[in-house]
Amino acid sequence: MANRNLTYDPTLYEQTRKKTWQERLSLFSLKMPSIAVLFLWSVIPLFMTLWFSFQRYNIMEPDKTGFDGLGNYRYLLSDPSLALSIWHTVVLVGAVLVITIGLGTLLAVLFDQEFFGRGIARVLVLAPFFVMPTVSALVWKNMMMHPDNGFLAFLMRSVGLKPVDWFAVAPLTSIIIIVSWQWLPFAVLTLLTAVQSLDGERKEAARMDGAGPIAMFFYIIWPHLGRAVAAVTMIESIFLLGVFAEIYVTTSGGPGFASTNLSFLIYRYALLEYDIGGASVGGVVAIILANILALFLMRSFAKNLDA
């Protein structure tokens, strides 16, 4: 863009023009409070977590303190439950993303069609997103998946099958089902918003050119959804990395460590075993994991933001 300086670009002008000192002062005093509290909230605890991870610190053993070097790291990294819980975290995030975006795309296309009572049907689909996590987990645990009184058990009995004790046989899968149910509406709503923003003329033109519904989906709709899929992936990953309440009220991470993710492992270390040093190592691992993910996501996502 060689001649960029020759054309008048109001945004660029506004960003680069010299500000008067009054403007700079008001800018500073308006922005500073938010930046300061966010800094206090995120950066300082981050460094504390790092610091504690090198300390000997158990609330139950107040006499054992001091610098421990890599002791906590050696201890935690040799604990097989750490690798297991990282694996569970990855599986949980990955599976829920695939399920919600896959089904979400199909449902977005479905709910883009005209049909009778679409408004009400859409409201019903959306509802699970607004249910607090502890409620949805308990409803699924007790009223859907319970091996005696659950609705699924009733369905299986009525077709002559033996009911499954979901949380004993497949604890992580059960949690994936619950979390997918909670997040599917968000994916549907976001993707539907994107589908509807596709202008009708392009669809009409493609139809005129003889595109069938399948060609239409792959050549017109799907490419248009890129930005929405990136957004859904990013936001869901943020929340899914920290899934906690659903595990807390259903399996408590068990049986054994079968449904313990990183969040729950850290909770176990910190608030059940009072091992602050160990929990902090877990925290550091969680932060590293989130940052690896963020690196990929933020790059593709930041391009889509009109800041």
Partner 1 sequence: MTSSKLRQKWIMTILGWAVALFLFFPIFWMIVTSFKTEGDAISRIPHLFFLPTLENYMAVQERANYFHFAWNSVVVSIGSTLLALAFAIPSAYAMAFIPTKRTKDTLLWMLSTKMMPSVGVLVPIYLIFRDLGLLDTITGLLIVDAMMNLPIVIWMLYTFFKEVPREVLEAARMDGAGPLRELYNLLLPLSMPGIVSTSLLAIILSWNEAFWSLNLTASKAAPLTAFIASFSSPEGLFYAKLSAASTMAIAPILILGWLSQKQLVRGLTFGAVK
- 107-146: contacts with partner 1 (CB under 8 A): 107, 110-111, 113-118, 120-136, 138-144, 146
Interaction between residue 196 and partner 1 (CB under 8 A): no
Long-range contacts at 242-249 (CB < 8 A, ≥ 24 apart): 243/92, 243/175, 243/179, 245/133, 245/134, 245/137, 246/133, 246/136, 246/137, 246/175, 246/178, 246/179, 246/182, 247/175, 248/134, 249/134, 249/137, 249/138, 249/141
Whole-angstrom Cα distance, residue 139 to residue 154? 15
Cβ-based neighbours of 103, under 8 Å, separated by 6 or more = 184, 187, 188
Residue 232: CB minimum distance to partner 1, A: 8
Interaction between residue 161 and partner 1 (CB under 8 A): no
Of the candidate spans 1-9, 63-71, 165-173, 232-240, the one that interacts with partner 1 by CB under 8 A turns out to be: 232-240
Interaction between residue 184 and partner 1 (CB under 8 A): yes
Q: Which residues inside 13-52 make contact with partner 1, applying CB under 8 A?
A: 14-16, 19, 23, 26-27, 29-31, 33-35, 37-38, 41-42, 44-46, 48-49, 52
- Angle formed at CA 284 by CA 48 and CA 78, multiple of 5 degrees: 125
Whole-angstrom Cα distance, residue 141 to residue 167? 8
Residue 34: CB minimum distance to partner 1, A: 4
Residue 243: CB minimum distance to partner 1, A: 9
Please select the residue that binds partner 1; options are 203, 235, 258, 273, rule is CB under 8 A: 235
Amino acid letter for position 293? L
**CB distance 55 to 68 below 8 Å:** yes
Residue 180: CB minimum distance to partner 1, A: 11
**CB distance 251 to 171 below 8 Å:** yes
Please select the residue that binds partner 1; options are 71, 198, 244, 254, rule is CB under 8 A: 244
Interaction between residue 194 and partner 1 (CB under 8 A): yes
Interaction between residue 272 and partner 1 (CB under 8 A): no
Of the candidate spans 61-69, 71-79, 149-157, 166-174, the one that interacts with partner 1 by CB under 8 A turns out to be: 149-157
Whole-angstrom Cα distance, residue 105 to residue 194? 10
What radius of gyration, in Å, describes the C-alpha atoms of the chain? 25
Residue 293: CB minimum distance to partner 1, A: 8
Interaction between residue 76 and partner 1 (CB under 8 A): no
Of the candidate spans 77-85, 93-101, 185-193, 202-210, the one that interacts with partner 1 by CB under 8 A turns out to be: 185-193
> First and final CA of the chain: distance in angstroms?
21
Closer CB to partner 1, 206 or 249, in the complex: 249
Residue 126: CB minimum distance to partner 1, A: 6
